Chains A and B, each alone.
Chain A
Amino acid sequence: MTADTKFTGQTFKSVGTRPLRPDGIDKVTGRARYGADIDLPGQLVGSILRSPHPHAAIRAINTSKAEALQGVKAVITAADLPDLTNGNKELFDILDNCMARTHVYYDGHAVAAVAAVDAVTARKALKLIKVDYEILPHVTDVDEAVAPGAPVLHKKCFTQGVEPKPKKPSNIARRSEFGHGDVDAGFAKADVIIERTFRTEQTHQGYIEPHACVASISPDGSGELWVCTQGHFVFRQHCAELLGMDVSKLRVTPTEIGGGFGGKTHVWAEPVALALSRKANRPVKLVMSRDEVFRASGPTSATSIDIRIGVTKKGRITAGDATLRYTSGPYVGMWAELGAMTSFACYDMKHVRTVGLEVLVNRPKTTAYRAPSAPMAAFAVESVIDELAGRIGMDPVDLRIRNAAKKGTRSSYGPVYGPIGIGPTLKAAKEHPHMSAPLGENQGRGMACGFWFNFGGQTCTDLNIAPDGTVSLTVGTIDVGGARASLALVAAEELGIPYDQVRTVVGDTSTLGYNDMTDGSRGTFSSSMATIMSARNAISILKERAAKMWDIPVEKVIWEDGCAKAVGKKHGNLAPLSLAEIAEAAPNTGGPIAGHNELVADGAGVSFATHICDVEVDPETGRTQVVRYTVIQDAGKAVHPTYVEGQYQGGAAQGIGWALNEEYVYGDDGRLQNAGFLDYRIPVCSDLPMIDTQILEIPNPNHPYGIRGVGETSIVPPLAAIGNAVSNAFGVRMTHVPMSAPRILAALDEAQAAASEDVETA
């Protein structure tokens, strides 16, 4: 069905308030059930054997000793997960990543798994499995992987998107290009051109809850899966296809999710747990260790980006050109492509070209991480924009305002923009008190902009009126940040009843139709749209029932303030019927009352943010501390402003960690050296200041309430904002993220050396 989802400009009673979340009490009392908290009768413990080698051919696997160990109920290898993907390359890559077939492609790649009566037995059994590897040369670094002579991961990988088709295989799996105009002509008009290469290291989403699931397959071919996931319908689809099951026979129940940020959009251990359960004919619980999470679940890309931007003395950008190399692990992704699409999206560019190269390396399969690929591209672009501002003597905010994309601008990735919000965030930044606050010694201030697409997708909700008139709302998008509260607010708004009369639950895959994942900032955007439509459908039934109760034509009934009201001269004196009264009469007026909606939520609208940050650098050690941070972002309409702030703050904190300390460190042996929270350093509480937020509300014209997604954009600007702050403090340009102390110290040295050279030559 096509619903009218245009923004109506209505005023709100519930939406925009800040009630308590329904999942709060369970989460503060320890009752909330996460992936590892589910237990089934007769459950076994599953465990996965992982490759210690970054690249090897599997000659043979001998599992006989493990199978013979007392307490072992199943041992599986790739042979137990046969290839049913039927030429679907994307699905085959998922399968091969879950359980290596002919080759292992990274340290941590799964090669076999066991199910045993307890963890100790499972661990023993893993040690008894003998894998005969033929070790192959490996490459983990993005630039080394594209250099001539690099070990090639796949002999059949010829760069897609290049005409004519290359004759030699390479690690560049795909090339994509975006842009318009004539960049050479654009650069010819520039007074100043800056060209630089930037690098960013690989980071992990770093959710605190490791992947965990309980799988149970019956001999009749039906199955159940309890799992922490961002998309239980997608998990059902992938697992059923990989195991050759009928999709409807696999019921997936999402548990509470202990963070995902993109990392739980992909199946890792779930198909393995199901295959173990099928073979053992018992439920199997599989929980990854933290080490496994880092080694074998998807991090973001490491990147290397060449960038060139030209500007006139008066501050007009004349051209931009970027080549972006993003690692995607051993399997092709669209990560460089997303980087290429987002890099110049904030600006009005007459001449722009971006080229994305997907680079295969012996690292775990890259997965989405909050506004995937955008932060690295923004680091490169926003750093150069800032530097250009300095070179032409213009305020960096003014330079951005001068060149900001607006309605009618052709975006760097292709289409012409409708109404967009970068201008207002920049204006708010310029006027923000943070911008003019004094700085202390060794401190610097930086700012940067960020862009993310946001999207919608397939969504459905069920809204059921209980016999007492309270409302149960069932949604199919996972609640990662407070969506249950936000969606209850939306249902309460539409029905005209108090928030606490609505209870939202996330349904399992058997209770609702298919829903896309909670990704792309779509959870609240799309499920609120479906909730509004469900509520409207329920209201039309409620009006019919009230008409029946009054015995008047339904046209004479309106819905207002949570009640059916009769209108017109003849019936206007009838006392309104409350939701509870109509619900109570339901058995006599036609049975249960509900509203449903299924839709493809479109028109999410692009999202922009501007961040301001102050850092303090210890010039002798390079240690950098963020001392003040402000996030300004458009929310369309903030349904629950406190939870919107939470998204802004959380994304900024992740970006700060990425900017300063987080990185995958590989040894020369191709093994990950810091697969734990001690040496993969996500920010701790004492590392951060309070993170101030300013929510702008520029209604999204394509949503009835004007809502936009808010989850992802906040991670995009921090890398560049911090780089610019360091630069402004010391006059050095940081080109390598994370800007760890040794890198900052090295940059300070270089700047000093350059300065003394200047003095000597002067």
Chain B
Amino acid sequence: MRYEAPLTTPEAVELLASAKGRVHVLAGGTDLIVRMKGGFIEPDVVVDIKRIKDMHVIRKSAAGISIGAATSCGAMGKHSVLKKAWPGVVEAANLIGSDQVQGRCTMAGNLCNASPAADSVPALIAAGAQVLIVGPRGERRLPVEKLATGPGKTSLKKGELVTAIELPPRKVRSADAYLRFTPRTEMDIAVVSAAVNLTIDRKNVITDARVALGAVAIKAIRVPAAEKALIGNTLNEETLAAVAKACSAACKPIDDKRGTVEYRTRVAGVLAKRAAQAAWTRAGGKA
């Protein structure tokens, strides 16, 4: 195996495009190195993007907030502007692994691993985030939900890499929240998870909402029916019940070592309800 640590994005693209054999991008390494050690992958080339300075930058502009692909989730948690604008995205990113893992893991890695249970993905989908992709043919942007195509599979082409994650500008009276269920308090993979991003008007009526679930299908999913249940309503018992019902109805999970179909389906609704409540409170909603 060859290890490369380019200093610029064009160099990284060149390495990825020209490499023979199995080539992998190394961001945080908290998944890649585990898979290497377990013998699940045997890369010929690993391209470490952490020496590219731009990849560590969190930048706020009129277009929103851009997070460099090598930014550790731990660093996101220390960024007050990001935390204030997107508390749900940050709490999702900060739930990945221990402090040790937080010091390394990245949302870009979380997205590109394309695990159905990835913590940051539902939050990013709810946020309406997109990824900035650079490749031999230049840049392109893609909504985050279009990056993963199935477990472990992405729509990235040879030579392409995600260089940043872009969150839209934050509207007033809006907020997001992310919740997951794990058997332990920490150090766990989501059995099921839910993210809600919503905006309310002066009368506490929800004017916009995005709802996403994790670990209930082959990839993280958006739940339009739950969004419909929120929009145009205030957050009362009835609305919450409708959100829960819509979310449970949208689940197509599997039975595995981490959870059952029945459990995931039911708790998806519970978590969506609670995430909606948390996002609402953060947005300044009053009953």
A and B touch in the complex (CB under 8 A): yes
> Do A660 and B183 touch across chains, with their CB atoms under 8 A apart?
yes
Given contacts A673-B257, A679-B257, A742-B259, contact A684 B184 (CB under 8 A): yes
- CB neighbours of A660 from chain B (8 A): 183
> Do B257 and A687 touch across chains, with their CB atoms under 8 A apart?
no
Which of B83-91, B103-111, B227-235, B262-270 is near enough to bind chain A?
B262-270
- CB neighbours of A623 from chain B (8 A): 181, 183
Q: Which of A609-632 contact B (CB under 8 A)?
A: 620-621, 623, 625
Given contacts A673-B257, A740-B183, A742-B260, contact A681 B188 (CB under 8 A): yes
B252 interface residue, CB < 8 Å from A? no
- CB neighbours of A620 from chain B (8 A): 267, 270
> Do B260 and A679 touch across chains, with their CB atoms under 8 A apart?
no
The DSSP consensus for interface residues of chain A is loop
Minimum distance in angstroms from A361 CB to a CB of chain B: 18
Q: Within the assembled complex, what's the spacing in Å between the Cα atoms of A673 and B258?
A: 10
- CB neighbours of A745 from chain B (8 A): 263, 266-267
A383 interface residue, CB < 8 Å from B? no
- CB neighbours of B187 from chain A (8 A): 677-678, 681, 684
A70 interface residue, CB < 8 Å from B? no
A600 interface residue, CB < 8 Å from B? no
> Do B186 and A684 touch across chains, with their CB atoms under 8 A apart?
yes
> Do B270 and A687 touch across chains, with their CB atoms under 8 A apart?
no
Q: Within the assembled complex, what's the spacing in Å between the Cα atoms of A129 and B262?
A: 43
> Do B257 and A741 touch across chains, with their CB atoms under 8 A apart?
no
> Do B181 and A621 touch across chains, with their CB atoms under 8 A apart?
yes
Partner of A681, one of B184, B262, B263, B267: B184
- CB neighbours of B270 from chain A (8 A): 620-621
> Do B263 and A741 touch across chains, with their CB atoms under 8 A apart?
yes
Q: Which of B174-194 contact A (CB under 8 A)?
A: 181, 183-189, 191
Nearest A residue to B259, CB-CB? A742
> Do A661 and B189 touch across chains, with their CB atoms under 8 A apart?
no
Given contacts A621-B267, A621-B270, A665-B257, contact A741 B185 (CB under 8 A): no
Minimum distance in angstroms from A738 CB to a CB of chain B: 9
Partner of A679, one of B181, B186, B258: B258
A258 interface residue, CB < 8 Å from B? no
Minimum distance in angstroms from A214 CB to a CB of chain B: 22
Q: Within the assembled complex, what's the spacing in Å between the Cα atoms of A665 and B271?
A: 26
- CB neighbours of B258 from chain A (8 A): 679
A694 interface residue, CB < 8 Å from B? no
Nearest A residue to B273, CB-CB? A620
Minimum distance in angstroms from A196 CB to a CB of chain B: 23
Minimum distance in angstroms from B55 CB to a CB of chain A: 27
Nearest A residue to B262, CB-CB? A742
Query: Interface size of A by Cβ–Cβ distance < 8 Å?
Result: 23
A683 interface residue, CB < 8 Å from B? yes
Minimum distance in angstroms from A347 CB to a CB of chain B: 33
Q: Within the assembled complex, what's the spacing in Å between the Cα atoms of A661 and B185?
A: 11
Q: Within the assembled complex, what's the spacing in Å between the Cα atoms of A275 and B185?
A: 44
Give the residue among B38, B259, B270, B271 with the most A Cβ atoms within 10 A. Answer: B270
Q: Which of B125-147 contact A (CB under 8 A)?
A: none
> Do B267 and A686 touch across chains, with their CB atoms under 8 A apart?
no
The DSSP consensus for interface residues of chain B is loop
Q: Within the assembled complex, what's the spacing in Å between the Cα atoms of A660 and B185?
A: 12
Given contacts A742-B263, A745-B263, contact A674 B257 (CB under 8 A): yes
Q: Which of A682-707 contact B (CB under 8 A)?
A: 683-684, 686-687
Q: Within the assembled complex, what's the spacing in Å between the Cα atoms of A195 and B249?
A: 39
> Do A687 and B184 touch across chains, with their CB atoms under 8 A apart?
yes
Minimum distance in angstroms from B273 CB to a CB of chain A: 9
- CB neighbours of B188 from chain A (8 A): 678, 681
Nearest B residue to A672, CB-CB? B257
Q: Within the assembled complex, what's the spacing in Å between the Cα atoms of A678 and B187?
A: 7
Nearest A residue to B256, CB-CB? A673
Give the residue among A625, A673, A674, A679 with the most B Cβ atoms within 10 A. Answer: A679
- CB neighbours of B271 from chain A (8 A): 621
Q: Which of A254-291 contact B (CB under 8 A)?
A: 291
Per-residue CB contact flags for chain A residues 622-646 toward chain B (1 = under 8 Å, else 0) read 0101000000000000000000000
- CB neighbours of A742 from chain B (8 A): 259-260, 262-263
Q: Within the assembled complex, what's the spacing in Å between the Cα atoms of A660 and B189?
A: 17
Q: Which of A660-679 contact B (CB under 8 A)?
A: 660-661, 665, 673-674, 677-679
Minimum distance in angstroms from A598 CB to a CB of chain B: 47
Minimum distance in angstroms from B146 CB to a CB of chain A: 28
Q: Within the assembled complex, what's the spacing in Å between the Cα atoms of A266 and B191?
A: 36
Given contacts A679-B257, A679-B258, A681-B188, contact A741 B266 (CB under 8 A): no
Per-residue CB contact flags for chain A residues 17-42 toward chain B (1 = under 8 Å, else 0) read 00000000000000000000000000
Give the residue among B183, B188, B191, B267 with the most A Cβ atoms within 10 A. Answer: B183
- CB neighbours of A684 from chain B (8 A): 184-187
Q: Which of B146-190 contact A (CB under 8 A)?
A: 181, 183-189
- CB neighbours of A740 from chain B (8 A): 183
Minimum distance in angstroms from B28 CB to a CB of chain A: 16
Q: Within the assembled complex, what's the spacing in Å between the Cα atoms of A677 and B271?
A: 26
Q: Within the assembled complex, what's the spacing in Å between the Cα atoms of A620 and B184?
A: 16
- CB neighbours of A683 from chain B (8 A): 184
Q: Within the assembled complex, what's the spacing in Å between the Cα atoms of A686 and B185?
A: 6
- CB neighbours of B39 from chain A (8 A): 123
Minimum distance in angstroms from A739 CB to a CB of chain B: 11
Q: Within the assembled complex, what's the spacing in Å between the Cα atoms of A210 and B191?
A: 28
- CB neighbours of B181 from chain A (8 A): 621, 623, 741
> Do B263 and A687 touch across chains, with their CB atoms under 8 A apart?
no
- CB neighbours of B186 from chain A (8 A): 684, 686-687
- CB neighbours of A661 from chain B (8 A): 183-184
> Do A681 and B183 touch across chains, with their CB atoms under 8 A apart?
yes
> Do B189 and A678 touch across chains, with their CB atoms under 8 A apart?
yes
- CB neighbours of B189 from chain A (8 A): 678-679
- CB neighbours of B191 from chain A (8 A): 741
Q: Within the assembled complex, what's the spacing in Å between the Cα atoms of A677 and B262?
A: 25
Minimum distance in angstroms from B113 CB to a CB of chain A: 14
- CB neighbours of B263 from chain A (8 A): 741-742, 745
Nearest A residue to B189, CB-CB? A678
Q: Within the assembled complex, what's the spacing in Å between the Cα atoms of A665 and B255?
A: 12
Q: Within the assembled complex, what's the spacing in Å between the Cα atoms of A248 and B186?
A: 49
Nearest B residue to A682, CB-CB? B184
Minimum distance in angstroms from A258 CB to a CB of chain B: 19
Q: Which of A572-627 contact B (CB under 8 A)?
A: 620-621, 623, 625
- CB neighbours of A665 from chain B (8 A): 257
Q: Within the assembled complex, what's the spacing in Å between the Cα atoms of A659 and B240?
A: 33
Q: Within the assembled complex, what's the spacing in Å between the Cα atoms of A244 and B181?
A: 54
Q: Which of A356-387 contact B (CB under 8 A)?
A: none
Q: Within the assembled complex, what's the spacing in Å between the Cα atoms of A679 and B256?
A: 11
Minimum distance in angstroms from A686 CB to a CB of chain B: 4
> Do B185 and A687 touch across chains, with their CB atoms under 8 A apart?
yes
Per-residue CB contact flags for chain A residues 301-339 toward chain B (1 = under 8 Å, else 0) read 000000000000000000000000000000000000000
Minimum distance in angstroms from B148 CB to a CB of chain A: 21
Q: Within the assembled complex, what's the spacing in Å between the Cα atoms of A623 and B184?
A: 9
Nearest A residue to B191, CB-CB? A741
Q: Within the assembled complex, what's the spacing in Å between the Cα atoms of A660 and B183?
A: 8
Q: Within the assembled complex, what's the spacing in Å between the Cα atoms of A661 and B186?
A: 13
Q: Which of A470-489 contact B (CB under 8 A)?
A: none
Q: Within the assembled complex, what's the spacing in Å between the Cα atoms of A389 and B259?
A: 34
23 A-B residue pairs with Cβ-Cβ distance under 8 Å, sorted by A, are: A291-B38, A620-B267, A621-B181, A621-B271, A673-B256, A673-B257, A678-B187, A678-B189, A679-B189, A679-B257, A681-B183, A681-B184, A681-B187, A681-B188, A683-B184, A686-B185, A687-B185, A740-B183, A741-B181, A741-B263, A742-B259, A742-B260, A745-B267
Known: A623-B183, A741-B181, A742-B262. 8 other contacts (CB 8 A): A621-B181, A621-B267, A625-B185, A673-B257, A678-B189, A679-B189, A684-B184, A745-B267
Q: Which 7 A-B pairs have the closest CB atoms?
A: A742-B263, A686-B185, A673-B257, A665-B257, A620-B270, A661-B183, A686-B186
> Which residues of B approach A to under 8 Å, CB–CB?
38-39, 181, 183-189, 191, 256-260, 262-263, 266-267, 270-271
